[in-house]
Structure 1
């Protein structure tokens, strides 16, 4: 009997195709750059927020106010967008044949 954790990881790996992984890598690089260059009067933190929009902007308003809300909205927004990118890439690759796995 397979463990439930393995099937979840397999589903996430299938959902995140090559295009989604490239997107996540770019978001991680932008976030690292923003953290390294951010100062009090810098607007560098806005760049990763825009790169992960619209999900991160919606999450920024939905998550409770805390010190980590901005960072958490960027991370979750990037993951949501990557899942959507993976779904679109699979749909385009599949074409007119139905997906029998889902």
Structure 2
């Protein structure tokens, strides 16, 4: 498979409505977690766990990165993109073929 064909398939998978809804949900969860964590005075907020669980298992693979906010955001973004791609591919494969 050439690079052009792969990018074409990825674009089709990521532009599926189910994949876009999943990505929007992940963005909302991440925004919520960042706001809750920023407003927590005690430093004991566990809100960041929710976006990691929503983007598992791919985001959990990158949890071994150094402990920094940007690395956590990278892991969540990577997990969301991988899962959205799989969701898009599955949604397209399960649709009946239209003529």
Name the TM-score, length of structure 2 as normaliser. 0.78
Shift in Å, 1:94 = 4.6
Q: How does 1:9-24 map to 2 (within 5 A)?
A: 11-16=9-14, 17-24=16-23
Name the TM-score, length of structure 1 as normaliser. 0.76
Root-mean-square deviation over aligned CA pairs: 2.3
Q: Kindly report structure 1 stretches of 4+ aligned residues shifted beyond 4 Å.
A: none
Rounded Cα–Cα distance in structure 2 between residues aligned with 1:59 and 1:42: 21
Q: How many residues are matched? A: 89
Whose helix fraction is larger, Structure 1's or Structure 2's?
2
Q: Which runs of 5+ in 2 are unaligned?
A: none
From 58, 61, 73, the equivalent of 2:61 is 58
Shift in Å, 1:89 = 0.6
* Counterpart position of 1:90: 92
